[in-house]
């Protein structure tokens, strides 16, 4: 079980690194001048590869987490409201991940609707959610 926990943490940490960095690429894409196609193409390639990589990390992270929850029983039973809160935040992050994919498709279609400032704020969302998840897991407040 400790190996499963270790791999879950490893995959989740790597997935979060992608969730932190992909919107940063979006900030740079939003700043690219229209005439700079080489820079835009390079950033789009980086974003596509990162999205594919972090999607590949999210799947085993979720599988290990579900196994720990449903198979081993971690966080089940009375007094484990923290797990329900954590799972809700994980669903929020999965939505954020999907939203990143939508934003990337918009950049690829030359249909970006947001400024670089908007993407800077968008980039802070996973940081706040990660803080909440860590506090829930460590403190188990309810």
Residues 25, 43 contacting (CB under 8 angstroms) = yes
Distance separating alpha carbons of residues 62 and 28, to the nearest angstrom: 30
86 is in an annotated binding site: yes
Q: Return the number of other C-beta atoms located less than 10 Å from residue 119's C-beta.
A: 20
Residues 62, 7 contacting (CB under 8 angstroms) = no
Residues 105, 99 contacting (CB under 8 angstroms) = no
Distance separating alpha carbons of residues 53 and 12, to the nearest angstrom: 12
Q: What is the CA radius of gyration of the chain?
A: 17
**Feature table: binding site for heme:** 8, 86
Where is the binding site, in residues? 8, 86
């Amino acid at each position: 079980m400790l190996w499963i926990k270790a791999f879950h943490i490893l995959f989740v940490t790597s997935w979060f690194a992608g969730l932190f960095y992909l919107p940063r690429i979006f900030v740079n894409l939003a700043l690219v001048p229209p005439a700079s196609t080489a820079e835009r193409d390079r950033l789009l390639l980086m974003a596509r590869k990162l999205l594919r990589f972090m999607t590949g990390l999210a799947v085993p992270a979720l599988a290990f987490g579900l196994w720990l929850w449903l198979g081993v029983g971690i966080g089940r039973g009375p007094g484990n409201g923290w797990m329900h809160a954590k799972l809700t935040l994980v669903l929020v992050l999965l939505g954020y991940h999907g939203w990143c994919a939508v934003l990337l498709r918009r950049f690829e279609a030359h249909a970006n609707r947001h400024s670089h400032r908007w993407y800077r704020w968008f980039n802070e969302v996973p940081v706040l959610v990660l803080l909440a998840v860590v506090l829930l897991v460590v403190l188990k407040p309810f």
